[in-house]
Every structure is written in C-alpha cells, then in structure tokens.
Chains A and B, each alone.
Chain A
Amino acid sequence: MNLITVSGPPSCGKTSVILKAIEAFQQKGLHVGVVKFDCLYTDDDLLYQKAGIPVKSGLSGSLCPDHYFVSNIEEVVQWGRSQGLDLLITESAGLCNRCSPYLRQIHSICVIDNLSGINTPKKIGPMLKSADMVVITKGDIVSQAEREVFSSKVQMANPKAIILHVNGLTGQGAYELSTLLYREEENIETVQGMELRYPMPSALCSYCLGEKRVGEEFQLGNVRKINLEEQTACANKN
C-alpha cells in the first residue's frame, strides 16, 4: 500500500484536490481510501462516501490535532491495509499553521490557496517548509501575476518542493498530480518506528489541563512570555 499525508489550512481545497486526484486513480483501477483528521467538526467524510471512497474520520477535540494524528497513524495504516487499499491518503487541517504531520519516509503534500495572501507562505511553518510537494489551489480566480508571485513566495519558503497548480473545481492539474503520487513498487506495511520530520508543538501547561482562569498565578508548566521590551526597543530604532 502507498501512503500519502496531505495537510493544509482549513478551507484551502484539500478535499477537492484529493477527490479529483482519486478520480484519476480510479480510472487506472487503483483502490484508494481516505482518513480525515480534523479538530472539531468535519463533514468531508460524506463527500468521500458519496464518491464511493472508503473513508474514516477522526476528531481531535480538545487535543492538539498533531498529537492526535501521530498517536493514531499506525492504526490508520493498518485499517487501510485491512481494506486492501492500493493507496491510503490522510488529510489533516493545519489549524495553527504549525502542524506538520509528515513522517520522514512518507510522501507529504501541503495544499495552500492563492487567496491566502502573499505573506502566508512565509508564515506557515513546517507544514509548508518540510513538504515534498506543494499544491496551489484557487488559481482560477486570481490574476496571472498574483499566481506567479504566490508561487515564487512558496518556492522561497520551501526551495526543494515540487510546486503544482491544481484547480479543485475543474480538476485541471489533478491528473498530473496523481501521476506523481503513486509508486507501484512502494509498499508501506507499517509506520511503526518511523520519525516525524519536525517535532510536534510543545504543550503541557496548566491550560492544556483545563485551566480557564487568566493570570500569572494560574500558569504552570511550559509557559512562554512575549518579550515586549525588546520589541519596543527595536521599533524605536527604526
């Protein structure tokens, strides 16, 4: 079985891109399944179901979505194998722009859209910077120049990634994407022992444990403070 992790900010078009790519896979007779990781709510599983694609979804709820992903990925892989899939795609929303559920040996795709603003590639952390491939969506509604500027900003943030433009509505580019994703000779039986490309966001302060009150005396554990003084000094210099 092949395994691909897809992630990207909410509403950037991940599901549309995956659905269009799966159409191309199905035409080649490949059996593809999806597991959707989300935080509070998802109905994307219905979209996959409607397209006749085996799908499972998991909501991280009060947990950090990345931690949730990595604690479940092995079980998800085993589910995919039990379904006899040729290709399993995991989809997760990078909720804090910090998320990067990529494993070292597993294909990783970051989806990002042209509408998100030209500084966004800079702001997104490991999710964009450590992806093997970056898919840019919604190119049909912005100008040619903005597409070119946006691509160059993506390339600046992640110089080694392959950058592809896919239109999630018409599917333009999705066939081409599909040809880059599946390798017949590849067979993932387990991800046990593999490593994340980047460490997960660190946590465990009193608020992780359910604290609601504001104020220094309630802050315990891994707490970090903004350095307001240093920033003010810099601003004055300018």
Chain B
Amino acid sequence: MRKQELERMTLEQLERQYPFVLSFFESRGIPSEQNALKSLVQIFDEVAKHQEDGVHDSQVMFTELAEYVEQMLLFLGESKMDISSITILPGHDKDGHPETFERLHMERGEVVAIVGPTGSGKSRLLADIEWAANRDTPTGRIVMLDGAIRQEDHRFSLRNKLVAQLSQNMNFVMDVDVEEFIRLHAQSRMIKEDAALIERIVAAANHLSGEPFMQGSPITSLSGGQSRALMIADTAILSASPIVLIDEIENAGIDRKRALELLVGEEKIVLMATHDPSLALMADRRILIRNGGIVRVQQTRKEEKSILKELEKIDHLVSKLRTQLRQGESLSM
C-alpha cells in the first residue's frame, strides 16, 4: 500500500477497504466516528498538533499506517498454521557427541513425553522446535515441518507461532472476567468472538476441572485447578499454534486425562515435560534427554500401560477423597 494512495483517502473510504484499520486509529486515541469524513492528512495533522510525546509526526503516522495495513494483509492472507507433522533430525549433545536417535517424526493428535534430569536440555529442545532449527542452534538439530525446512521469515510471524506453552507456574494477570478474557484472545487472533465460542471454551474448561466457574468470574479469582483448566481449554480451542508444550501439570483440581484428550481432539501435537509416571504413560512415546542430547525415543510398552491402569485407580481414589473433603463429608475409601 503506497503512502500517496493513503493521503488522498478519508477514514471512511479506508475503513470500507480495510475494516481492520479502526483498531489502528483507536489504539492511537483517534475516535473513528467524529473523523469518518475527514481526509487522513487532516486527521493526522490534527493529532500531531495535540500529541504530547512528539511520536505522532504526521509523516511517521502515514508510514506506520501503511506498514500496519501491509502487515495485517499479510497476517490475514497467511493460511492458518496447518502443518500436520514435525520431524527432528539429530544433532549433538553438549559435548559434541552425535545424538543416537535416527529421526523423530510427530503427527497431529500425538502425545509425546520428554523426560530427563533438570538442566538436561528440555528447554533447548523446545526452543529448537519453536525456532524450526536448521543446524543454526547450539544442538545442530534440524526441525522440519511437513517434511520441509521452514522459511526463515516465518520465524517472526505472530500468526505462525509454532509452540503454545502451558506450565505449572503460569498465572492470569489481566484484570478481566472469563468472557472478556476469551474475547480479547479471539480479537488478537482476528477471530470472530461470538457467544458460541465463549460457551464452548467455558464448557470444555468446566469439563476438566471439578469445580465449575461462570463466564462472569474474574479470571484472577479462579482456583489453581480452574485456572489450569481454562488455560488448557483456551489453548486447545483458540490458540493457532499446532504444537502444545506442557511443562508438568499437577494432579490437583484437574482431570489430566481429559485435558490431553481435549488437546488431541483439537489436533495438536502435544509435548509434555514430566516426571509424573501417570502423565508420562499417557503418552504414546517418550523422549529421553541427557546432557543436552536426545538419547532415545521409547515407545510406551503394553506392560507399562497396565501400570497406568493401576495409577488411574489411585488417582481416582485421591480425587474422590478430595471431593469428599471439599464437600465437608467424612472421608471413606
């Protein structure tokens, strides 16, 4: 979009062509209604006169607007991240020894656990995936998307962020209610935030946590389990990233099996850094990391899956007791 082209337009004309520009004006404190019929030159000159910080030099504003329109067109034009698989080719560990796996291929809907001591290189592996490494990170790994090496400029695209992260340490910090929270998230992704979407996310979250919450609940007042449930449901349904990284989810107040089912059902590739046996056994495979390198990729065996059944019984018992406790009953097995 050329600057000269913009200079001749009124705000109304511009809006008709690019409806999204209104947020550009709003974020700069320019009300659209009063200014609809004015030319952009006129609007920017007026704003420049009133601004305190001197940032809004009218020429600069034109450049920014042109840039914004271009970025947004790019953003809207980019197809949604529809990659269906990632493939990791081995690099080397911290001492330069080659990694001993052949290639690691993960498809949408798959759950893979990552295990290894603290500092063994789990974050590095995730960073390699996020960056779509091409022998240009400290591990020398290659990460291919749909079997191909990613174009470099995609690395900075907000829409094409590969990895969404969920961890035990995350909290809500915004001072909004659940409904407003989901709206803001949808708006940031240029998705129409209708009532059905909000209901769907809240229902999914309430399905995960034992204690239901309402759309009008302030997000900062949610309990640990409710917060976790909302984060997972929102990430599963509303986040564009095809890969979800889970960094250890505690067993408290949330049904982790259902959480994984939700993510898998939304066609995510799920990676879980965990040392919790019941979580690790829910995965189809686990990656063992040591000294910065992947040592082995191990299929979850049948015998191991039967351990999971036992663990599930224990988990079930604990959660039953928790419910009794919460409801003020005396505890019984």
Contacts and interface: CB of A to CB of B under 8 A. Distances in A.
Instruction: Determine the main DSSP class of B at the interface with A.
Output: helix
B164 interface: yes
Contacts of A129: 55, 64
A236 interface: no
B55 A148 contact: no
Contacts of B32: none
A126 B53 contact: yes
Interface stretch (B171-179, B285-293, B303-311): B171-179
- Interface size class of chain B, counting residues whose CB lies under 8 Å from the partner chain: 35 or more
B291 to A, nearest CB: 16
Contacts of A142: 170-173
Contacts of A98: 53
Nearest to B185: A145
A199 B55 CA distance: 9
Contacts of B71: 155, 159-160
A173 interface: yes
A46 interface: no
Most buried by B among A147, A153, A173: A147
A125 interface: yes
A74 interface: no
A236 to B, nearest CB: 15
B131 interface: yes
Interface residues of A, number: 44
A61 B27 CA distance: 34
Contacts of A122: 27
A172 B167 contact: no
A82 interface: no
Contact of B185 (A115, A130, A149): A149
Given A162-B156, A175-B127, A179-B136, A144 B55 contact: no
B239 interface: yes
B235 A156 contact: no
A160 B156 CA distance: 11
A159 B170 contact: no
Nearest to B67: A159
A146 B173 contact: yes
Interface in A148-190: 148-149, 151-153, 155-157, 159-160, 162-164, 167, 170-173, 175-176, 179
B24 A148 contact: no
A94 to B, nearest CB: 12
A27 interface: yes
Nearest to A237: B34
B92 interface: no
A114 interface: yes
A218 interface: no
A143 B234 contact: yes
A118 B188 CA distance: 11
Contacts of B27: 122, 153, 156-157
Contact of B231 (A140, A144, A164, A176): A144
A140 B170 contact: yes
Nearest to A27: B138
Contacts of B165: 139-140, 144, 147
Contacts of A172: 123, 126-127
Interface in A111-127: 114-115, 117-118, 122, 125-126
A48 to B, nearest CB: 22
Contacts of A126: 53-55
Interface in B197-246: 227, 231, 234-235, 238-239
A199 B23 contact: no
Contact of A152 (B130, B155, B182, B188): B188
A64 to B, nearest CB: 14
Interface of B: 23-24, 27, 53-55, 64, 67-68, 70-71, 123, 126-127, 130-131, 136-138, 155-156, 158, 161, 164-167, 169-174, 181-182, 184-185, 187-189, 227, 231, 234-235, 238-239
Given A27-B138, A152-B158, 16 more contacts: A118-B174, A126-B53, A130-B55, A140-B167, A140-B169, A143-B171, A143-B227, A144-B164, A144-B234, A145-B184, A145-B234, A145-B238, A148-B239, A160-B64, A164-B156, A176-B155
8 contacts: A126-B54, A126-B55, A141-B170, A143-B231, A146-B172, A149-B188, A151-B158, A170-B123
What 4 A-B pairs are tightest by C-beta distance, nearest first? A152-B188, A145-B185, A125-B53, A159-B68
